[in-house]
Structures are given as C-alpha cells and as structure tokens.
Amino acid sequence: MTLNRRGALLAVLALPAGCAIQPLAPLPTTAIPAPGGPVSLRTPLAGQRWAYRKLDFFNSSVLEGVQETVASVASTIDVHRQTDSGAALADERHAAWGQLLRDPVWDYPMTFEMPVPLWPASLTAGAKTSVHTHYRMDGGSIRYWIQVYCDVRGWERVTVGAGTFDTLRIERLVRLDHQDHTRAETLRQDTMWLSPEVGRWVAREISGRFRLQGSSGLWQNESREDHFRWELTAWR
C-alpha cells in the first residue's frame, strides 16, 4: 500500500458513521455445471475490443473506463490499452493467447523472460500450472524473480454491465521480488472470470500484500497494495 492509500484509509476511519465510505461488495456469482464438451476460447483477431470499468475495492469508486483492443496477432498477440478519455496505458503482450510476455495491470508493467500463464492451456476445472522466471521493468536492466501459480477453480455464472456470462473462475497466486528493496514477501492474488464466448475475462480482481523494513532494520506489520476490480461493459 502506498502512503497516500494508507492516509486515505485513516481519513475514512475518522469520518462520522453516516459518511463512511463503503468497500466494494463481492462480485455475485453462481456455481454452474461444466459444459458437456470441450471448451475453447474465441480466437483473438486484430480489432477485437473489450471495454471495462475499473473500480476501487476500498471505497467502491469507479476510477476510469478502460478500452482494450487487439492490435496485432503476428509474432505475438499485442493488446493496446487506453482510458475512455484516450490516455495511453501500458500494453499487454502474449506469446500465445493466455501466455503473458508483458503484464501491465500492477504498480508497474513487468516484461517476462519466459511466458507466464494468465490462464492455463487446459480450460478444465482443476487444471493447474506453475512457472518460475524473471522479469524486468520498462527500461530496466535488473532481473527480478517471479513465480506464478495458476488454477482453474470451476464454472460460475457472472452478471456484469455487458450481460450475463458462463465463465471459468481462474485464480493466480504470484510471488515476486519487488524493485522496492525495503519490501519483503510480496504476494499477489489475481482472480478472473474467463468467458469462452468473449475470449477474455469479463471480471477481474487483483490485490497484494507485503512487509516493509523499518528504520531499525526490523520487518514491520503487513501492508497492502491497491485492490481493484475490472468489469466488462461492452465487447465486439
């Protein structure tokens, strides 16, 4: 958690009860049976687009709208990202669809030395995969260690702004060395609801936690990173 985030939370606690900001409610989901046959995602093609709204878990505010467009499916699959106002966001890159070479959604984009799973190759409940590799920050030369566990939890029906979808719930656990050397034990959780029909997730939640080293050299209590949800509002 940044100092600004911690200060904001303290300010919320100081508000009168009637003015308290409410955290984001859990995403309503319903467990459903798996389809009878094989499951395949819509093939990514240049020009495919998804629109999301981004929400803050701590206060339920809508932060921005995000537009994501497949810009290239040549040697890699590149997803261009921007806000509704047209401001550029860091792009996403896949070696193959669901195998990330660049992940832009955290506090800084990470470019991996080998692909890491955004979802497993097998879209079957119970499928698991794990990858150890290294990443670099944009423009950086230092290699940082990262490990990604990915698990298909099962089928769930989800309703978001774009409609109701049958989805696979994918959970990822990410351990990494952070570029901030005062951090220890950085652990991130990433949950997405992947729609075969849409070819991408219709909802996604990310959060993280870590410990900071104090001036005395001792490790302080656990701190938290930002906690966000994206919900699909339109797609084509």
Give residue-wise pLDDT tens across range 73-115: 999 999 999 999 999 999 999 999 999 999 999 999 999 999 9
The conformation of residue 23, written as its DSSP 8-state character, comes to P
The angle formed by the CA atoms of residues 77, 80 and 82, to the nearest 5 degrees, is 160
Query: pLDDT over 70 for what percent of the chain?
Result: 89
Distance, CA of 142 to CA of 134 (rounded, Å): 10
Give the confidence band of 9 by pLDDT, cuts at 50, 70, 90: very low
Q: What is the pLDDT of residue 214?
A: 65
Question: Which pLDDT value is given to residue 4?
Answer: 41
Q: Are 94 and 48 in contact (CB under 8 A)?
A: no
Contact 43, 217 (CB under 8 A): no
pLDDT at 12 over 60: no
Q: Nearest Cα to 26, choosing from 171, 233, 227?
A: 227
Q: Which amino acid makes up residue 13?
A: L
The ranges assigned to domains in the chain are 22-235
Please list, in sequence order, all residues whose beta carbon lies within 8 angstroms of the beta carbon of residue 174, skipping any fewer than 6 positions away: 146, 147, 148, 149, 187, 188, 189, 190, 208
| pLDDT above 70 for 14 | no
Both structure tokens of 212: 């900071």
Q: Is the pLDDT of residue 168 over 50?
A: yes
Q: What is the pLDDT of residue 219?
A: 58
Task: Look at residue 122 and tell me whether its pLDDT is greater than 60.
Answer: yes
Least confident of 151-165, 179-193, 207-221: 207-221
Q: Which of 2.40.360, 3.40.50, 2.60.40, 2.60.120 would CATH assign to domain 22-235? A: 2.40.360
- Residue 90's CB: how many other CB atoms inside 10 A? 16
In the three-class reduction of DSSP (H, G, I as helix; E, B as strand; rest coil), residue 135 is classed as strand
